[in-house]
Amino acid sequence: MGADDYNDLPDSETNFEWQQIFDSLQDMIAIIGLDFKIKKVNKVMLDTLGVKSEDIVGKECYTFMHGTEKPPEMCPHAKMVQDGTAHQIESPIEMLKGDYSVSAHPIQDKDGNLTGSIHIVHSVTERNELSNINRYLASIVESSADAIYGKDLDSNIISWNKAAESMYGYPREEMMGKSIFSLIPSNKRAEYHELMDRINHGEAITNHDTQRIKKNGELIDVAVYISPMHDSNGNINGSATIAHDIHERKFMEQTLRESEEKYREVFRNANDMICLNLMEEDGSPGKFIDVNQIGLDMYGYSRDEFLDMNALEIVELEDKVKLDLNAKNLKLRGYDAFEITTITKTGRRIPIEINNHTFQLNGKQVIIAVGRDVTERKKAEKALVESENRYRSLFENMLEGFLLAKVVVNKEQEPVDWIHIAINQGFKTITEFDDVVGKNVTDLLPDLKDTNPEVFEIFGRVAQRGVNETFETYLRFIEKWLNITVFSPEKDYFVAVFEDITERKIPNWHSSKVKKSSGKFLTTQKMPCFFRKS
């Protein structure tokens, strides 16, 4: 069957219907002969490539699609030509900027002779991106320090992360499909059914303290966060649980209740300020009910004065809004951490880092706050910012041009391009380029690789091998001689520092290579790309 046969079917109405079907298919489809020449393509392929039929029909597929002189090694059409059977691969296609499934299915004439193939190109970019996202989310779950597991509506385990294995002592393969009731103490089962009833009505459970049983029979205290899971139709089909081991928190609460003296010992000898506040109904801190000596020394109050105050009285006005957010987090999760600026009795401002937890003390909800003075850290951060600003100013005011770029390599790992990441004003002045950050040099200067191949070779070598090099070169596109020093801060990246040495080099060229016209030096012949390593 020849190329024209696909257009001249015996029945014109059948041919018309066939053409409509061919063009309505959502994948890119081409008919390719045994000589690798494209015989026909559908409308989707023309639209995707942005070409007309006459631009592509009759051309070798590998030349048009891959810009090569022969088929790629994994070409499914080439394999189909060899053995007459269908072949399929998945591969990124640079021209289409995505990942694609490419298949070649044999076409035979009425005598059974192989005449070519139907080439189907289907985008799998979105699928691969979703797969990558799923792998990323799965890695987050697997690396979490909290136990995370899923259950179906019958309370059977359907997922179980590594932290769950560690917390409860059951390996994943042992828990998959097993009932969650193996973890629930008998005196907590009614509570569990109540929680599941709320879950089945679409409610999420947050920061619920309870107990669970490990494989060895040991009871552990956990705070559970349970959320309903939904199927694609929005129906609840199970629940996801995050279990946080609160043994340490419970131990602290128990220690405070059972041994006031032990608590006082820890309380008095801590290096950070520790204070207790009654917790208001909205989660905000009320009156102080205790504070250690570090706290009194930090703020300059006597114990009686301090215990007659509340947290709002030592917080800077502009930061009081943070206490509102803190109150919400304490109500929701039972703990919070943030930074805030506080005021001493003498008016001195102290930035502190606070970690808050809630617990029951003598039947009342209490907030325990550990506050650390971060004044020195703030000073160090400020000094770092100022130092960075000084270096930024130096960078921007350098007379030399500065370029940070990332090398782009081909399939053979050969440098073929670079992407501009950062430049300074000196670079803009010397090269007369301004808007280059984020752009490829081959897009800005398509002929640079031909006119100055040594630049590509040296920049690529430095970026890949981590060596330092200095050389001189003449760049025709700006008609300047440059001294370039290039080094690599890390693999595949390079930093180039440009110095304009045209005024030093021009006299050496004047008599034989350069003439002066209208106040501008012009080349009298095609100037070679001489360069010299220093």
- Predicted confidence at residue 238, as pLDDT, reads 92
Residue 137 pLDDT exceeds 70: no
pLDDT band at 14 (very low <50, low <70, confident <90, very high): low
Helix/strand/coil (H, E, C) string of 366-429?
EEEEEEEECHHHHHHHHHHHHHHHHHHHHHHHCCCEEEEEEEEECCCCCEEEEEEEEECHHHHH
Decide which of 129 and 222 is more confident: 222
For the entire predicted model, the pTM comes to 0.33
Q: Comparing 190-204, 389-403, 414-428, which segment has the lowest mean pLDDT?
A: 389-403
Residue 13 pLDDT exceeds 70: no
Tokens (6 digits) for 249:
């928190």
- Predicted confidence at residue 514, as pLDDT, reads 43
- Predicted confidence at residue 527, as pLDDT, reads 38
Contact 45, 121 (CB under 8 A): yes
Which residues, at least 6 apart from 388, have a Cβ–Cβ distance to it below 8 Å? none
Residue 167 pLDDT exceeds 70: yes
Residue 495 pLDDT exceeds 50: yes
With tokens 């003390």, the residue in question is: 361
Distances (CA, A) of 353 to 345, 369, 435: 19, 10, 42
pLDDT band at 515 (very low <50, low <70, confident <90, very high): very low
Q: How many CB atoms lie within 10 A of CB 191?
A: 14
Distance, CA of 52 to CA of 46 (rounded, Å): 6
- Predicted confidence at residue 196, as pLDDT, reads 93
Distance, CA of 79 to CA of 88 (rounded, Å): 10
DSSP 55-87: HHTTSBHHHHHH--SS--TT-HHHHHHHHSS-E
Share of residues in the chain with pLDDT > 90 (%): 29
Which residues, at least 6 apart from 390, have a Cβ–Cβ distance to it below 8 Å? none
Q: Which domains are delineated in the chain?
A: 4-124 (3.30.450.20), 144-245 (3.30.450.20), 272-376 (3.30.450.20), 398-533 (3.30.450.20)
Residue 136 pLDDT exceeds 70: no
Q: How many CB atoms lie within 10 A of CB 301?
A: 20
Through-space distance between the first and last CA atoms of the chain, rounded to whole angstroms: 65
pLDDT band at 249 (very low <50, low <70, confident <90, very high): confident
Q: How many CB atoms lie within 10 A of CB 159?
A: 18
Q: What is the mean pLDDT of the chain?
A: 83
Tokens (6 digits) for 25:
């298919």
What is the mean predicted confidence (pLDDT) over 333-359? 90
pLDDT band at 456 (very low <50, low <70, confident <90, very high): confident
Q: Comparing 11-25, 122-136, 144-158, 170-184, which segment has the lowest mean pLDDT?
A: 11-25
Which residues, at least 6 apart from 307, have a Cβ–Cβ distance to it below 8 Å? 287, 288, 289, 290, 291
pLDDT band at 522 (very low <50, low <70, confident <90, very high): very low
Residue 341 pLDDT exceeds 70: yes
Q: How many CB atoms lie within 10 A of CB 228?
A: 19
**Residues in a beta bridge with 41:** 30
**Interior CA angle at 371 toward 370 and 377, to 5°?**
135
Using one digit for the tens of pLDDT, what is the confidence trace for 45-100? 888 888 888 888 888 888 888 888 888 888 999 898 999 899 998 888 877 788 88
Q: Comparing 3-12, 223-232, 335-344, 497-506, which segment has the lowest mean pLDDT?
A: 3-12
**Residues in a beta bridge with 236:** 230
